[in-house]
Structure 1
Amino acid sequence: MKNSINLRFGVLVAIILVAIAFRFLAVIAPTLSNFSPVGTIALFGGAYFAKKQWAFIIPMAALWLSNLVLNNVFYKQWYPTFSFGFDLGTFFCFALVVAIGILTLKKVTVTSLLTANLLGTVVFFVVSNFLVWTGGKMYPQTFEGLMSCYTMALPFLKNTLTSNLIFSAIMFGAFEYAKSTSKVLQLQ
């Protein structure tokens, strides 16, 4: 039993690590801004890690480590000093998406996965852009400023939702298929 739990844990971590590598697509193709697996990784962790602390720890560690590389190697022009790769608002929003995965994906079905993706995408969009607005650096602290913030973020919303749906089909599909062919990957 313990070996099957360790194998399942290892497979989940491996899928997340492979997926996080796709964050680097934005470096190669800047038009794919916000086309990233991070939302799916959050949902995936929430859905499959039996111990829910790992549902938060593993996806957040993957996000943080990829932020370290992206910010300090590829996006140095925006980070004149060393970036620790941690933005409290972003990680808070990411944690909300993990929680959505935990709550909505107790049983993974096409319907529950679509619901989780839509809910996770909208929650991340609304909360993260609200935090951008409250930061007071880019938009005036008025209702018009808030609406401008959301309006300017709309192009990113499309790529976020599209990538969440595509990466969900791949990641959840791969793990569900693996579970169907190996009892070791199923929770007892």
Structure 2
Amino acid sequence: MNKKDTISRNIILVLMIIVAAAFRLLAFKYKELSNFNPVGAIALFGGVYFVDKWKGYVMVLLTLLCTDVVINYLYTSKFSIMYDGIIGVYLSYAIMVLAGTLIKKVNFVNVLLASIGVVLIHWLITDMPWFYTELKLYPNTLAGYGKSLAAAVPFEKNMVYGNLVFGLLLFGGFELAKTRYAFLRTQKQLAL
């Protein structure tokens, strides 16, 4: 795989991520879609397909940051990057990218299991009340953490659906494209 092919492959990956990320903004208009978004699938996708794994982390976290800025503006009419709980959210998505890097063979079962597994990561990390300094919905105790986890179930259910739908589109689309365009395959895949 030459440098031109690597650049072309990365451009395709980035474009796919940008198009998918636009769907995250729908939750502002349609509240029932809260957490039904592509970010978990994007995290796995970036972790799997970027040859230079650091690019997966940068692309996913940058996508999250850009969409956060837009969503925060839509809710508050102010441009802001920071919000209560941001550390837990970004940490969970970085771990999701790591989970993607662990997928060595892309197939339906591996992507399905990873899509569900990263929802557990998101649920267990983002609902820790210790990450929230201003918004005190639950006490900073294990009981408060349990209440937070219970209250988050509907949102995490939407995330499962989002991961499955967008994972199918991203992974399925890229795997299909790889069968038609050799420049999308890695050097290892070309050797097979």
On whether the aligned pair clears a TM of 0.5, the verdict is yes
8 Å CA contact retained: 1:71, 1:85: no
* Equivalent in the alignment of 1:128: 126
Q: CA deviation at 1:26?
A: 0.6
The alpha-carbon deviation at position 133 of structure 1 amounts to 4.7
Checking the alignment, whether the CA contact within 8 Å between 1:64 and 1:85 is kept in structure 2 is no
Contact 2:23 2:37 in 1 (8 A): yes
Match of 2:143 in 1: 144
RMSD of Structure 2 on Structure 1 (CA)? 1.5
For 2:6 and 2:45, the matched residues in 1 are separated by 17
How many percent of aligned residue pairs carry the same amino acid? 36
Normalised to the residue count of structure 1, the TM-score between the two structures is 0.92
Matched residue SS, 1:123: helix
Q: What stretches of structure 1 of length at least 5 have no aligned partner?
A: none
Unaligned runs of 5+ residues in structure 2 are 188-192
1:176 matches 2:175 = yes
Per-residue deviation at 1:134?
5.2
Aligned length: 182
Q: Which residue number corresponds to residue 75 of structure 1?
A: 75
- Please state how far the C-alpha of 1:186 moved relative to its aligned partner: 0.3
Mapped contact 1:133–1:145 kept (Cα < 8 A): no
In the alignment, the residues of structure 2 paired with residue 144 and residue 91 of structure 1 have an alpha-carbon distance, to the nearest angstrom, of 24
In the alignment, which residue of structure 2 is the partner of 1:65? 66
Q: Distance in 2 between matches of 1:178 and 1:85?
A: 37
Give the CA deviation at 1:43: 0.3
Shift in CA distance, 145/5, structure 1 to aligned 2, threshold 3 Å? same
- Amino acid of the structure 2 residue aligned with 1:162: Y
Show the counterpart of 1:84: 81
